[in-house]
């Protein structure tokens, strides 16, 4: 059974680090200043903000992963844009100031992060889902109870204290969380994206295996409901199931992806009290993101 609704559900896994497919080259010069929630162009399209919180239950935390998903039900199309957490943007408020975009979640939760994305990129959000580390661990074990096979090297083992040996290993929730969060090598967050892609594909396949039988289809609503219990979200079971009937039987290989900042539009910089950031060409990235969601 091929699932596109699967990707709507698997987005919660992306939040904790399981990001998107290899990135096609993007044209950052495309120009549009229209808000991408213009329903005259997109029918019933909905935009979801998906946040992976750097938290194990603390009241305040930063956004460890940020993804915007836009679903076009009439075309059965899903687009995913991931915003690098070190992207340097203006955070609105009584005293607007530039900072890493993940700091917006720390200072004002999901509402401030929504407003920051709107003002920085011109993208309005319809629904929000937040998952923390504990939720990710439970979600992984729900969708892939047999574990996920990954290739582990000594640097990851030492840095993240993973209980594994060099080479192929089957990892489960807590250990897999460490694996997808590793970033302390020469590739930093960019290398992490490549590792996470492989994990996402295996989680997708494991979930499909679970619901490929008649019994699995019958159990799908309860699986989704259990998964939603691991989230802080305004997306309900009814919303997902309403998206599902048409999407469930569509191929899942048409998902388009984007990373912000786009290639050639940023430089590494460092600021006192903030640290290392990705200093972006704001106009180029705003246009790239709007063009991506406007097609």
- Identify the pLDDT of residue 86: 92
How high does pLDDT run on average in the chain?
A: 75
Asked whether the beta carbons of 115 and 94 are under 8 A apart, the reply is no
Q: Are 99 and 134 in contact (CB under 8 A)?
A: no
What pLDDT shows up at residue 26? Answer: 44
What digits encode the pLDDT tens for the residues 36-92?
A: 444 334 557 788 898 888 776 666 778 878 888 887 777 767 788 889 889 999 999
Q: What is the CB neighbour count within 10 angstroms for residue 72?
A: 16
79-131 confidence digits (pLDDT tens): 888 898 899 999 998 878 999 999 999 999 999 999 999 999 999 998 888 88
CA–CA distance, 275 with 277 (Å, rounded to integer): 6
CATH number at residue 67: 3.40.630.190
> Measured between alpha carbons, how far is 287 from 197 in angstroms, rounded to an integer?
26
Residues 291 and 284: their CA atoms lie apart, in Å, by 10
Which domain range does residue 168 map to?
Answer: 5-293
Question: Can you give the pLDDT at residue 225?
Answer: 74
Q: Angle 272-99-192 (CA atoms, 0-180°, nearest 5)? A: 95
Range with the poorest average pLDDT among 13-27, 35-49, 141-155, 245-259: 13-27
Cα separation of 99 and 89, whole Å? 6
Above 60 in pLDDT, residue 254?
Answer: no
Cα 110 from Cα 93, distance rounded (Å): 14
What total number of domains does the chain contain? 1
Task: Dihedral sign for Cα 110, 139, 248, 11, please.
Answer: positive
pLDDT tens readout for residues 268-290: 999 998 999 999 999 999 999 99
Helices (runs of H) and strands (runs of E) counted in the chain: 10, 12
Backbone angles phi, psi at 66, to 5 degrees: -135, 125
What DSSP letter does each residue of 181-234 carry, written as one string?
H---STTHHHHHHHHHHHHHHHHHHHHHHHTSSHHHHHHHHHHHHHHHTTSEES
What contacts 24+ positions apart, CB below 8 Å, involve 237-245?
239/127, 240/5, 240/8, 240/9, 243/5, 243/8, 243/71, 243/73, 244/5
Q: Residue 247 in contact with residue 3, Cβ under 8 Å? A: yes
């Amino acid at each position: 059974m091929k699932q596109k609704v699967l990707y709507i559900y698997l987005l919660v896994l992306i939040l904790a680090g399981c990001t998107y497919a290899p990135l096609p080259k993007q044209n950052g010069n495309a120009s549009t200043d229209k808000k991408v929630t213009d329903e005259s162009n997109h029918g019933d399209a909905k935009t979801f903000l998906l946040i992976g919180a750097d938290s194990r239950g603390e009241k305040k935390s930063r956004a460890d992963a940020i993804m915007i998903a836009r679903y076009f039900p009439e075309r059965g199309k899903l687009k995913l844009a991931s915003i690098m957490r070190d992207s340097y943007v203006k955070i609105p408020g009584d005293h607007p100031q530039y900072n890493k975009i993940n700091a917006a979640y720390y200072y004002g939760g999901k509402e401030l992060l929504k407003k920051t994305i709107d003002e920085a990129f011109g993208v309005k959000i319809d629904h929000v889902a937040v998952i923390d580390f504990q939720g990710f661990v439970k979600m992984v074990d729900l969708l892939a109870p047999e574990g996920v096979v990954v290739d582990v090297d000594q640097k990851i083992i030492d840095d993240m204290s993973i209980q594994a040996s060099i080479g192929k290993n089957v990892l489960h929730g807590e250990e897999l969380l460490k694996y997808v969060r590793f970033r302390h090598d020469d590739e930093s967050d960019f290398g992490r994206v490549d590792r996470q892609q492989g994990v996402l594909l295996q989680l997708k396949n494991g979930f499909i295996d679970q619901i490929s039988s008649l019994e699995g289809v019958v159990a799908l609503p309860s699986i989704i409901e259990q998964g939603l219990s691991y989230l802080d979200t305004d997306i309900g079971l009814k919303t997902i199931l309403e998206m599902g009937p048409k999407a469930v039987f569509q191929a899942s290989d048409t998902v388009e992806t984007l990373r912000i900042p786009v290639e050639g539009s940023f430089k590494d910089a460092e600021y006192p009290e903030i640290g290392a950031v990705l200093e972006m060409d704001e106009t180029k990235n705003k246009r790239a993101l709007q063009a991506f969601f406007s097609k």
